[in-house]
Structure 1
């Protein structure tokens, strides 16, 4: 599992399952916390921002198609392709596979 979590918030929660001498009360509770802990960022918000960039490049493609050069249009199309790949990576949690 390769996701980002808010380490400071997790440390705070771990105190609730740790004795004053530093011994963990329940390892299963810690494992549950790690599994259920939210990511440190909102993947939907990241995708939303990337989709806005795609819209911008799509408008540029339309403009370049009418007024520009084939090279500029190609560059805009490649940018859209890269952004779509980035969205798939974010949706997949950043895990290759």
Structure 2
């Protein structure tokens, strides 16, 4: 699914509708199959927050940075720190969405 979305975005011109459809599928799959897995909130939330077309590059970079911090916390076994970073990521995404 993710590879299909990447291919749609890499096309010239990018097929954003197809990529959006693939992301919808990915989110539905993650919500059902990976709902309890700790990595699910980081990756799926990151993709969903980066989705709006009005976000600037800096906002996407901010989201990527915070998502990376959350993933590293999970890798190190610090669930509380990962949850804190996920909340930060959602705050960055929600503030930037309101600004646009």
Give the structure-2-normalised TM-score.
Answer: 0.42
Larger Rg: 1
* More contact order relative to length (CA 8 Å, sep ≥ 6): 1
Give the structure-1-normalised TM-score.
Answer: 0.43
Q: Which has the higher helix share?
A: 2
